[in-house]
A = this chain, B = another copy of it.
Amino acid sequence: MAAAAPPPAAALEQLSKTKMFGGHNLRFRHQSASLGCPMTFSLFLPASPASKLPVLYWLSGLTCTDENFIIKSGAQRAAAAHGVALVAPDTSPRGLNVEGEADSWDFGVGAGFYLNATNEKWKNWRMYDYVVKELPKVLTDNFEQLNTSCASIFGHSMGGHGALTIYLKNTDKYKSVSAFAPIANPINCPWGQKAFSNYLGTTKSEWQGEDDKFLAEQLLAGNFEEACKAAGAPLILRMQPGYDHSFFFIATFIDDHIAHHAQFLKSG
């Protein structure tokens, strides 16, 4: 009997390539097995690395695609300087035509919340699996210049929530985490309640896995510092007076975040 052939590498369709800070912004589409639809993602590759590049995942906020961060953040400058690849996935499945999926800007399309939905209607909304499992495999299979086992994660707003929850459930997979203005206590805010009740059902106790208890109970910015102290987890919490929720805020402090991650990615 012939040995089974290894599964083929996921087929990637390159949508664009633009040079920036000596490296390249690349954009791809591929068929996602986790989500059951075609997905796009963006990748910034710094110029010709001497060694394999570590990977820094960016998770965007409500209404974004994979492009907002690439166009508006200015992150490529610091990523090129530190020799770190940036990976920006989209924020939800698209084009599945689930009834009501595009009725509001804060739920459904553009609002995956980086969780695995358990409500049958939203069964394709498995952005947690997509970001944690499928996307790293796609990168490993297609980009030999990437060291996907050396990775960190950060994000903004809904994507800040995503980065913090994904990191805390997978401290073996990510070297460091940071967030810009994360949705810090989703079960107690309207965005989170709307998303969780629809994706996960109306039984509140179902919204949290065992791993989530610390996070879901404590992740108010004000309490988070104390909770981290109690748990012995290092935290830098910065409040930036006068800045709003926009990419102007993100662009202002993106260098600090990338420099922070680069420390852990270089020593990793």
Interface residues of A (CB under 8 A from B): 18-22, 25, 71-72, 74, 76-77, 242-244, 246-249, 251-252
Contacts and interface: CB of A to CB of B under 8 A. Distances in A.
Nearest to A24: B242
Nearest to A44: B248
A248 B19 CA distance: 7
Contact of A74 (B74, B244, B246): B74
A263 to B, nearest CB: 21
Contact of A242 (B19, B25, B77, B248): B19
Contact of A19 (B19, B71, B244): B244
Contacts of A77: 74, 251-252
A252 B47 CA distance: 13
A71 B247 contact: yes
Contacts of A19: 242-244, 248-249, 252
A71 B243 CA distance: 15
Is chain A's binding surface mostly helix, strand, loop or mixed?
mixed
Given A71-B72, A77-B74, A25 B248 contact: yes
B72 A20 contact: no
Nearest to A247: B71
A74 B251 contact: yes
A247 B70 CA distance: 11
A71 B251 CA distance: 10
A184 B13 CA distance: 36
Nearest to A73: B74
A252 B74 contact: no
A21 B252 contact: yes
20 contacts: A18-B244, A18-B248, A18-B249, A19-B244, A19-B248, A19-B249, A19-B252, A20-B243, A20-B248, A21-B251, A21-B252, A22-B252, A25-B248, A71-B71, A71-B72, A72-B72, A74-B251, A76-B248, A76-B251, A77-B251
8 closest A-B pairs by beta carbon, nearest first, are A74-B74, A20-B248, A19-B242, A18-B248, A19-B243, A21-B252, A20-B252, A18-B244
